[in-house]
Structure 1
Amino acid sequence: MSWALSPRHLERGVILKAKVLLYIVAIGVLVIFSAVVLINLDSFSVKIRKASAKEIAGDVATSFSLLRQNLQTKLEELWENPPVLSSVDDYTGLTLNGHIKFKAIALFSTNGNVISRNTDDDFPMKAITESEMFEAVAFEEYPYNSIIFDHKPMLVGLLPVYNLDGDPAILALGVNLEDLIDLMDQSEDFQIAIYDYTTKTIGSSKLPKSLDKNLFDVIVGSEEPVVSSSKSDIYAISPIKDYMDWDIIGAFGIKEIFYPIKIFAVVILITFAFASVILTLYFILAGRCRWKAVFFGMVIPVLAVFIYFSYLTNNVTAEYAKRSVQISSKVVTNLQDIKNPISRSIFFENQILSLPLELTIIDSSMNLIRTTMNNGESSRTMSFKLKSLTESDTGIIKVGNSLHVATKISLDDTFLILSKKLYKFQAPGKMNSLVVGITLFITMISLALISFAGINISRRRYLSESFGAFAFLLPSFIHLMIFGLAPIGFALYLSFHQWNIVIPEKPFVGFDNYVKLFGDKFFWNAMKNTAIYTLHVPIGMAFSLFVAVLLNQRIKGISLFRTILFLPSVSSFVAVAMIWQFMYNPEFGLLNVILSKLGLPQLNWLGDPKIALISVMIVSIWSQIGYQMVIFLAGLQGIPAYLYEAAKIDGSNKWQMFWKITLPLLRPTTLFVLITSVIGSFQVFTSIYIMTQGGPLRSTDVVVYHIYKNAWEYMKMGYASAMAWILTIIIFIATLLQIKFLGKDVSYT
């Protein structure tokens, strides 16, 4: 008895190992995809929290800076007519922004002695008189304000005045910063602290008791808040500068509490995708299903994970954006007292350009009164969109081409709407979406290859040859993906955005670019010029075929003539265009010199709108004759000679042989030359750019040159991408029509 395994048993063992390997690879691919999704979800959570903290910190710092500007304005108004004071009681009722009272007031002599005071022990007398600001006010006799850090931080304004004896004195007005922090309406998920640059002591609670000195060093050269983290907390630091607005003396700290993203649904979808893919692979290996099952059992579940990831990130972004705008709105309205009509008017007139928030006022009938939004929409349309916001609500509205996060606050007889553009919160998470998208694409390809191997698992030789071919094609495929398909996909992505290279905001606008395109008369003028320019293709083909027939002779030196005629096709088209531009010169160009010698009127070849496009078409015909001639020559030499010999025997002349033999048998070549030449004519750019630049009067403005101008001169990348896709669709349709109507009788056998 022989214990050796039969070939059938060996084959079954190999197939079993292959099946196990496919299961392992499929599980590995899904594990990697799931890990990328979850890691990027966590990374996105951190990024959006940092973006929110940074936005709030910037708004707090700006609002406080505006408060200091208001204090400085008030001090300068008083300084214009320096008052004579006997005591501080004359300024007891003085307020800032109409609602912030100066709780600490003191009158000093210029040498630092206290003349009069109306304050408690919290007022940092010694710190004030020993500060550089006190010396500057005493020396320059000009008011300044700054934060004085002592045992309690305080905003102090110093005003040069005179006492009853006529001697110069300095009036100090102080606001406790802890009172200002209370005005900012802190909550459990939002905390503000004030740090001293020198001692790093804190002016409030619930944040780190001190900051790393390196953080202060970072914000010295930064105009924006710096984001840091401590365990599960994220906080942003905004600088506070001195009275001269030079040196950093402190910082605001904004704490962002962690709100975990609910990933339960993501885990459920990932689990479902795992089960579906493995079950589908089982049925594939059992021979019970084919490619339709791959689509529904593998592609759809994995795609569902990505779709929900995108939905979740967009939803979380919107929620954080709404919350950030709500907090910033409370900070601004409470510090600036915008609800007060007088304060609101002053605020709009003087400080509106400095505030990161956009402000809009509408009346009770929803009519627009004033706004800082730069959106290009009519007041009626804008008011209608703002009307969708309910009172004290925060939502996302589209104004112009931008999405805005807006909150509405009820005033006496009007509504105040504070808003920010949503892109500020969307930008940090775009890289996470890109990484997950790329991983999704790789996962799809991997699952397709696994399915292909599973369907053909019993055909070992076929699989070996197929994967060998795939391996050889892989470098070219990667090159095609990176330099071909990726730019095409990115152009499609751009076409749905208002994308400007120099402007950081790149909002999603949907089909707005395409809708705008259909009403753009300049684009359709360029399309008309392109269609007219394409008419040179059959003329050029006729010339090329004529030359090819002439050169299809076996005579001595014919190769030299072929080479000479082919040279324009391999020459630099920039050089060719410049030479023809010189020849077209209306004053000393070669063509006009010849016309004058013949007694004919000279022409402004490139300056006359009636003939400028024809002049460019002549250049294109001349430069393409050589290439088309070579293609036709190859076709002519592929026609069997015995056909011509049989026609001669039948008494046919050369003209009859051309129409009955040459032209019909050249139909495949003619179709190829026609299609490639039409595509090339739709893409003409170099000759237009060098010779006419779309002029005169847009008579040579073709589509590709029009796309170039919108992209690189007007910086409208999104709009130019929409034009490029419309052009692609038109070329595709034109090619299909040529194949359908001209290629139905073409045979390549």
Structure 2
Amino acid sequence: MKTLERPRTPAAGRSGGGEAGRPATRRPLWTARRRDQLAGYLFIAPQLIGSVLFVLIPLGLVVWYSFHEWNVLAGTFHSVGGDNYQKLLDDPKLPGVLKSTAYFSVGLVVLNLSLALALAVLLNQKLRGSVVFRTLFFSPVVVSLVAWTIVWGFLLQKNGGINAGLDLFGIEGPNWLRSEGTSMAAVIVVQVFKNVGLNMVLFLAALQGVPRELYEAATMDGAGRWLQFWKITMPMISPTVLLTSIITVVGSLQVFAQIAVLTQGGPNSSTTVLVYYLYQQAFKFHHFGYGATLSVLLFVIVLVLTVIQWQMRKKWVFHES
């Protein structure tokens, strides 16, 4: 006699949740989070690709070229090891070039930032015609650099417009661009007038963001304008001061067109800054390997100065620690 077997049932909980036989659900591949991540990558892709193609790769090639000697005219390209860096240390002209570069950078940064801040404070007042003056001081920024420099080159000649104006007062002006004592100062002034409007606008925007209540409270406590400027204005606009100082310092170390158009590095190499000296070595004397070495030196100088300014921000920039 056959016995009936009881049908077997799957153990409860084996399939999870007590539901037998239901297949596990798979997480969809195209989730909202991944769509957001893809959108973010697409937004930064143009900047990232541009940085790689036009910054990182050229920088790597410059470092590689600095260990080679490349003569385009002779069609030769060979490795020289560290000879270009030894030549850099032994170059008798390099100390004078670095001195001229420091002279130009310090003069430009001090005059540009000081004048821009003074103009911003003045034009931040409720004065008649302030909008006209803002436009007037900013307009050189949008003018072509070469055209601006050529015009100033005519004005600074021995018989140019500047000396003609001085002659009206019985003053005999020098040959501004051909005298060692005035050539660098003339180039600095031309560059300051060209870009002071940009920093002025940045300072003006920062000044307009300072709460008026702070000045009112300081006035009630008996603080004068000068004390208010140093205790309220400067701390509140210090982030903008940091930004403009970094931009101006980096720009001053990269000056080329003004030197090439106005003085060509003269007289007697008194206005030969590092970028113009690099240009002479690479494109006039066809020492491309040594020119690349000078480019590495310029990069190191810019990097060091930028890092120093960035680290110093913790001591004087408001809300930084």
Normalising by structure 2, what TM-score? 0.87
Equivalent position SS for 1:740? helix
| Structure 1 residues 157-179: Cα deviation after superposition (integer angstroms, max 9, x where no partner) | xxxxxxxxxxxxxxxxxxxxxxx
Is the 8 Å Cα contact of residues 685 and 705 (structure 1) preserved in structure 2? yes
Partner of 1:470: 41
- Paired residues for 1:51-450 under 5 Å: none
1:483-521 CA-to-partner distances (Å, cap 9, x unmatched) read 222222221121111012222220011111111011112
| Counterpart in the other structure of 1:3 | 21
Structure with max Cα Rg: 1
Is 2:187 the partner of 1:595?
Answer: no
Please point out which of 51, 55, 69 is paired with 1:498: 69
The 8 Å contact of residues 66 and 293 in structure 2, kept in 1 or not, is answered as: yes
Task: Provide the residue aligned with 1:557 in structure 2.
Answer: 129
Q: Gaps spanning 5+ residues in structure 2: where? A: 1-18
Mapped partners of 2:184, 2:263: distance in 1 = 9
Given that residues 538 and 674 in structure 1 are in contact (C-alpha distance below 8 angstroms), is that contact kept between their aligned partners in structure 2? no
Aligned-partner residue type, residue 560 of structure 1: V
Q: Distance in 2 between matches of 1:546 and 1:636?
A: 11
Counterpart of 1:645 (choices 216, 236, 252) is 216
**1-side partners of 2:150 and 2:53: how far apart?**
34
1:627 aligns with 2:219: no
Aligned counterpart, 1:697: 268
Q: Read off the aligned partner of 1:584 and give its amino acid letter.
A: L
**1:501-520 matched pairs, under 5 angstroms:** 501-520=72-91
> Counterparts of 1:697-716 in structure 2 under 5 Å?
697-716=268-287
RMSD (Å), alpha carbons: 2.0
Paired residue type of 2:247: T
Q: SS in structure 2 opposite 1:739? A: helix
Where is the strand percentage greater, Structure 1 or Structure 2? 1
1:598-624 deviations in Å (ceiling 9; x for gaps): 222321211111221111111111112
3-state secondary structure, aligned to 1:499: strand
In 1, the alpha carbon distance for the partners of 2:104 and 2:184 equals: 7
SS in 2 for 1:481: helix
Query: What is the aligned partner in structure 1 of residue 142 from structure 2?
Result: 570
Matched, 1:735 2:306: yes
Matched, 1:661 2:246: no
Structure 2 residue 251 is matched with structure 1 residue 680: yes
In structure 1, the residue matched to 2:11 is none
Q: How many residues align?
A: 300
Deviation readout 1:424-467 (Å, 9 max, x if unpaired): xxxxxxxxxxxxxxxxxxxxxxxxxxxxxxxxxxxx76555334
Relative to its length, the structure with more helix (as a share) is 2
The percent of aligned pairs where both chains have the same amino acid is 36
Amino acid at match of 2:270: S
Question: How far has the Cα of 1:571 moved from its partner?
Answer: 0.7
**Is the CA contact 1:671–1:743 (under 8 Å) kept in the aligned structure 2?**
no
Residue 696 of structure 1 deviates from its aligned partner by: 0.4
- 8 A Cα contact 1:491 1:721, kept in partner: yes
Shift of the alpha carbon at 1:584?
0.8
Distance between the aligned counterparts of 1:613 and 1:654, measured in 2? 36
Mark the CA change 1:468 to 1:742 in structure 2 (over 3 Å): closer, same or farther: closer
User: Which of 172, 177, 184 in structure 2 is aligned with 1:606?
Assistant: 177
For the 8 Å contact 2:235–2:318, the answer to whether it is kept is no
Question: Are the aligned partners of 1:494 and 1:721 in contact in 2 as well (CA < 8 Å)?
Answer: yes
In 2, Cα distance between equivalents of 1:676 and 1:507: 37
Query: Which letter maps to 1:530?
Result: T
Greater RCO (CA < 8 Å, at least 6 residues apart): 2
What is the distance in 2 between the residues matched to 1:543 and 1:472? 38
Task: For residues 134-175 of structure 1, give each alpha carbon's deviation from its aligned partner in whole angstroms, at most 9, with x where no partner exists.
Answer: xxxxxxxxxxxxxxxxxxxxxxxxxxxxxxxxxxxxxxxxxx
**Structure 1 residue 579 corresponds to structure 2 residue 151:** yes
Deviations 1:171-214 (A, max 9, x none): xxxxxxxxxxxxxxxxxxxxxxxxxxxxxxxxxxxxxxxxxxxx
- TM-score (norm: length of structure 1): 0.39
1:724 and 2:316 aligned: no
Show structure 1 runs of 5+ residues with no match.
19-459
> How big is the shift at 1:6?
4.5
Partner SS, residue 561 of structure 1:
helix
Equivalent residue number for residue 222 of structure 1: none
Does the residue aligned with 1:507 lie in a helix, a strand or coil?
Answer: strand
The residue identity in structure 2 corresponding to 1:3 is G
Tell me, what secondary structure is at the counterpart of 2:135? Answer: helix
Matching residue of 1:542: 114
Q: CA deviation at 1:556?
A: 4.5
Whole-angstrom distance in 2 between the partners of 1:462 and 1:745: 41
CA distance in structure 1 between the partners assigned to 2:43 and 2:245 by the alignment: 33
Query: 1:533 corresponds to which residue?
Result: 104
Distance in 1 (CA, whole Å) between partners of 2:89 and 2:38 is: 47
Aligned residues of 1:527 and 1:702 also touching (Cα < 8 A): yes
